Every structure is written in C-alpha cells, then in structure tokens.
Amino acid sequence: MEDQLESLTIIFTETYYWITVVFMFLIHVGFCMYEVGASRRKNMMHTLMKNTMVIPLVTVTFFYFGWWIYFGWPNGPGITGGVLDAPWATPWSELMGAHMGGAPVSDTLTADDTMGWARINGVFWAAFLLFSWTAASIVSGAAIERIRSFAFWILAVLIGSFTWIIDAAWGWSPDGWMVQLLGYHDAYASGVIHAIAGGFALGVLIHLGPRIGKFKADGTPRNIVPHNPWLVTIGLFLIYTGFWGFYVACNIPIFDVGPAAGMDKAFFTTTTIYLTPTTTSAITFNFLMSLSGGLLMGYVISKGDAFWTYSSGLAGVIAASAGNDLYHPIQAMIIGAIGVVFAYKMHHWVERRFKIDDAVGAVAVHGYAGWLGVVIAGFVLWGYPSSMNADYAPITPWGQFIGAWIMFGVLGFLPAWIAAGILKKMNLLRIPERVELAGLDLSEYHGRYLDKADIFEAEVEEARARSLIS
C-alpha cells in the first residue's frame, strides 16, 4: 500500500476487528463458566468440555464452508438470484491465508480483491466466527447434563457453520434478499444470532427431553440448583463484557457513504453491516440503556432472583439490538424491559405447558427476547430505509414479523428439530439413563474419583506407619 491515508484506514480496520475478536472471546469464557456453574457437581467436566470443543469444531468448519456461504448465498440462492462468486472466501483461496496483497496467483482473483481482502479477510472471518461460537454456545447451555457430546457437536456445527451464516447472508448483509424484499433490519443481531439460536435450542430440547427428576408427577417443575452461583454470575458478567466486542464487531468502522447517498463528495462514517450510517456513540448509549432496562425489569419481575436478574440484563440488550443503531436510549431501555417481561413469562409458560427443560433459560433470553426485538423494531422504525439503496423495501412491521419467524422458526427451530430427531432415532442424542443418574463426570472421570480415594487411604496408612496418627 502506497497511500498513507488509505493504509491507515485499512490497517485501522484490520486492528479494529482484531480487538473485537479478543473481546468476543470473553463471551465464550463466560458461557463456559455460566454452564459449569449452572450444572451439578457430577456433570461439571462434561459440561465444560462440551462447550470448549465448540471452539475448534466450529472454527475449522467455518473455515471450510461457513465463510463462503456468507458471500455466496445472499440471494437465497434462488430467491433474488443465483450463487455469487466469492473467490476470497473459498477454503482453497490464497486470500484465506497470510498474504501481502500483491498480484494474485489465481486467475479467479482480481488485483482489487487481493489489495483489500489480504488485510481484512482473516480478522473479518474471525469476527463472524466468534458469532458462530456464540450461536452454538447458546444451544449448549440449554442442553446440559443429558446430551451426548457427539450429538451436540454435530448440532453445533450445523448452527455455527451453516444455518446462522445462511441467515446472515439473507438478512445481515447489504444485499441479502431479506433486506431487499422485506426491508429486514437487525443491526446487532436480535434475530440473526439470538432468535435463531433460541429457536434451534427449542428444536433440540423437544427431542432431548427434560433431565431426570426435573418435573414432578403432576408436571410441576423442580428447581435444579446451580452448584456454584458465583461462577454463574461471573460468567454472565463476562458475557456482558464480550457483548461490547460483539456490538462493535457488527459495525464497519470507517466507510465512505457519500457516493451511495448521492453526494458529490466523500462522507466517512461508521456504518452498520448494511452500510447504513450510525455512530459508536449511538450504540454505546443504547447498549448500556437496554442492559439497564433489562436488569431493572428482571429484578422486579423475578423478585430479586440473581439468576434471572443477570439473565434479564442480557435479554434487555438482545431485545433492543435489532434497532440499537437508531433508537433513542430511553426507547432502548423500555424495549429492553418489555423483552424481559416477554422472555420471563414465556419461559415459565412453555416450561409448565410443554415440559421443556431449558437449563439456563437460553430459549427465553435469546429466542423469545430476540424474536420480539425484531418485531418491535418493525413498529418503532416503521418507514425507515433498510439500506442506502432506495430501491430496497423500507422497514415495516410485516417485514420484521416475517423476518423474525424466518430466524426463529425456519432457520432455527426447524433444522434443529429435524437433525435432533435423526440423532434420536439413531440413539445418539441422549446419554444412557444410568449414566445420567450416576453423573457424567463419574462416567468419564470415575478413575479420578477412585484415585482420590486411593491417595487419601494411602496417606492415612503412611501417617499411621509413621505414628503420626493412631
């Protein structure tokens, strides 16, 4: 790169996304701590490993096919056009590796491809990848203490490297067909990450069934108490922290929107993923206000229950995320609070009515709050442009309503319900009941328990032999 300003812009953008990735790593750390804390002692290590291995499995598959789907499938394919060429995103592309941006080796790439993508591809890929981990990790929490790791990891790849990135291509890219035809707007992923993951978790839970003992004979749910509430709360704090990275990763830090706006000069700004203008200040206001709306309402509605108050902070942000590029902060706060009421009430109604054992409230916090957030944006932002392209549909309640169901139902619930059903038929979905009763760690780590007993017994014998005890 020869031009200093251009170089600064590109290298700043590269560094910007890299920092978001580091922040977003904390989401996964938080999810692991949260899930382990929420599980019982007998299942801790299994719970930890189940979510930890999401990292390598979703990473490699997102490299192999997820990244290409994002750029290749904005048209459906088959809805507004065919599969698009994305030669920088195929796993065999020279741009999917260390590259200085010089002349392309492959004739499928242009010089323009190589100059920009050589610097941005890896960090942009990683930013999307961390969203993939989050989607899979949301599902992980709902299914703890009884799902087989094999089954979960297949399902994690399905949502992390396939279904969520299809929804991103459709509704979270500048030219996705949902943006073009429905005016779909979901700037910080109420539907694109959260509703889909919540719907996916629900599809899995229907086949998986509740943990043994969760429901009394009359159908009343029992409270399976987290073995370590402190780990749960620290985990949720870390998820809040990582959420900052998630929010800024949804933006493009410096972009010239002047030409798209019809101006005869440049206008540099931060934009959403739709390349529509916003500011980092706007989303900082709204992130904190929607978090606060969620926490305030969560405390009241749960009567001060720590688990639900913390989770409600997340639900508040999730409910407001679809329009947090444009809302007033007090609107964001109110929408966050409304999302919490809906999520909380729905969770308990679904639990009692359908005997769904959602161990961490993931379907509620992510699925119901995310779904409602997309719908609410349709009313509050009614008539706003969804794109810089004036030919695309504007934001409407009906476009958002259809979009919310595509996220939660079509790309979330349905693939999970089918895949989990197949795994169940193959007897690969749930661990054997005796092992569940004994505890997953007893099964996988019982040698360690025996070693503990052995070493204690040996120490007592040694102490006796040395006349240190009688």
Interface residues toward another protein, by CB under 8 A: 2, 40-42, 57, 60-61, 63-64, 91-94, 96-105, 114, 118, 148-150, 153-154, 428, 431-432, 434-435, 437-439, 441-444, 446, 449-450, 452-453, 456-457, 460
| Complex with another protein: residue 219 or 457, whichever CB lies closer | 457
- Chain Cα centroid distance, residue 293: 21
Handedness of CA 416, 417, 422, 426 (dihedral sign): positive
The least CB distance from residue 99 to another protein, in Å, is 5
The least CB distance from residue 423 to another protein, in Å, is 11
- How far is residue 319 from each of residues 216, 288, 468, measured CA to CA in Å? 33, 13, 63
The least CB distance from residue 239 to another protein, in Å, is 27
| Complex with another protein: residue 60 or 330, whichever CB lies closer | 60
CA–CA distance, 298 with 60 (Å, rounded to integer): 38
| Residue pair 88/112 in contact by the 8 Å Cβ criterion | no
The least CB distance from residue 360 to another protein, in Å, is 20
Long-range contacts at 396-399 (CB < 8 A, ≥ 24 apart): 396/182, 396/183, 399/182, 399/183, 399/184
The least CB distance from residue 9 to another protein, in Å, is 18
| Residue pair 164/196 in contact by the 8 Å Cβ criterion | yes
| Complex with another protein: residue 108 or 389, whichever CB lies closer | 108
Q: Which residues on adjacent β-strands are paired with residue 160?
A: none
Longest dimension (CA), the chain: 93
Q: 379 — phi, psi (to 5°)?
A: -85, -45
The least CB distance from residue 37 to another protein, in Å, is 14
| Residue pair 356/207 in contact by the 8 Å Cβ criterion | no
| Complex with another protein: residue 132 or 270, whichever CB lies closer | 132
Which helix (H) or strand (E) segment is 252 a member of?
strand 252-256
Residue that the structure tokens 């969770």 belong to? 347
The least CB distance from residue 34 to another protein, in Å, is 20
Q: Give the 3-state secondary structure of residue 241.
A: helix
With the CA atoms of 245, 180, 200 and 128 taken in that order, what torsion angle do they form, in degrees rounded to the nearest 10? -30
Half-sphere exposure (Cβ direction) of 76: Cα atoms closer than 13 Å? 8
| Complex with another protein: residue 256 or 444, whichever CB lies closer | 444
| Complex with another protein: residue 63 or 215, whichever CB lies closer | 63
The least CB distance from residue 41 to another protein, in Å, is 7
| Complex with another protein: residue 95 or 337, whichever CB lies closer | 95
Q: 199 — phi, psi (to 5°)?
A: -65, -40
| Complex with another protein: residue 2 or 218, whichever CB lies closer | 2
CA–CA distance, 400 with 388 (Å, rounded to integer): 18
| Complex with another protein: residue 46 or 194, whichever CB lies closer | 46
The least CB distance from residue 308 to another protein, in Å, is 24
- How far is residue 367 from each of residues 155, 203, 294, 452, measured CA to CA in Å? 17, 11, 15, 42
The least CB distance from residue 246 to another protein, in Å, is 26
| Complex with another protein: residue 230 or 456, whichever CB lies closer | 456
